[in-house]
Amino acid sequence: MKIIDDLLSTLNLEAPVRDIRLGPFQTAVLTRYCGLASTPHDPGPHHDHAPVKESGLLLENDARALAHLANSLSQMEAAIGMATINSLIEVDEQRCVELNAGDLLERKGEGKRVAIVGHFPFIPRLRPVAKELWVIEKNPREGDSPETEAENLIPQADVVGITGTAFTNHTIEQLLRLCNPKAYVVIWGGTAPLSPVLLDHGIDAVSGTKVIDSETALRCVSQGATFRQIKGIRLLTMMKKNP
């Protein structure tokens, strides 16, 4: 994908891979820093086809090889690739604010038509403030819309929120193409790269994660932590303009 290739072109990929943890909910890679990505919940059949081809041998690769896994057709490998990319980013904290994605979407979505790709804990907070709220979900809950409705709903939205897992399932570029050029677009989650490259691809804000305590974050991932349980991280948002 072009957006991933553009990310890769800005990184110093010459770094050793020091650790890899693939937990049930989060994936972590330690190179220059520690990077996270969501572990795919539906990796597909694995008895006849291994989701990670070089499982057990990944530490023999360098960061360049692992980062390029972000383009892999295997979502498990793509998650390792995205975590590697995030581990290599020199996050410019002067361009970031400590702001949660839910707070930003609530602020930007007030009185607006909002489309959210994925069902997340902050959804109930958005319903009372948004003029209209569409939650587009692969496994819809009550009140959600199926992902087949994305092409109809996203172009109507004034504010669009897209989970960073769209990088690992390779839907990010398709979803961005659906956005109205005037819409305010937010990408969020542990998978979302805190890189200004994304702001050149029609994205207005990236709410991502910077790991500040690698040992703690790696331990949490290994012990089955969900994203909200991971310690040793900071939630940062990078924007084109101040909120």
216 token code pair? 């703690």
- pLDDT score recorded for residue 12: 95
pLDDT of residue 49: 66
3-class secondary structure, 41: coil
Following DSSP, what letter does each residue of 95-110 receive, concatenated? GEE---HHHHHHHHHB
- Mean pLDDT within 43-55: 65
| pLDDT band at residue 141 using 50, 70 and 90 as cut-offs | confident
What is the CATH architecture assignment of 93-213+232-239? 3-Layer(aba) Sandwich (3.40)
pLDDT at 46 over 60: no
Our measurement of the distance from residue 99's CA atom to the centroid of its chain's CA atoms, rounded to an integer in Å, reads 16
Angle between helices 2-9 and 75-88 (to 10 degrees): 30
Whole-angstrom Cα distance, residue 168 to residue 133?
25
Nearest alpha carbon to residue 218 among 25, 28, 63: 28
pLDDT at 143: 85
Count of all residues that appear for the chain in the document: 243
Q: What is the mean pLDDT of residues 125-130?
A: 94
Q: Note whether 214 and 34 are within 8 A (CB).
A: yes
Helix (H) or strand (E) holding 76, with range, is: helix 75-88
* CA proximity to 195, closest of 5, 35, 7: 7
Per-residue pLDDT reduced to its tens digit, 93-120 = 999 999 999 999 999 999 999 999 988 8
Domain segments of the chain: what residues?
2-88, 93-213+232-239
Inter-residue contact 196 to 206 (CB < 8 Å):
no
pLDDT tens by residue, 176-223: 999 999 999 999 999 999 999 999 999 999 999 999 999 999 999 999
Kindly list the strands in the beta sheet with 26-30, ordered across the sheet, starting from the edge strand earlier in the chain. 19-22, 26-30, 34-38
With a pLDDT cut of 90, the percent of the chain lying above it is 83
CA 101 – CA 9 distance, rounded (Å): 27
* Sheet with 132-137, edge to edge strand ranges: 96-97, 233-239, 205-211, 184-188, 159-163, 113-117, 132-137, 145-146
Band of residue 92 on the pLDDT scale cut at 50, 70, 90: very high
CATH 3.30.390.100 fits 2-88, yes or no: yes
- C-alpha to C-alpha distance for 30 and 17, rounded to whole angstroms: 6
- The per-residue pLDDT of the chain, averaged, comes to 92
Average pLDDT over residues 16-43: 93
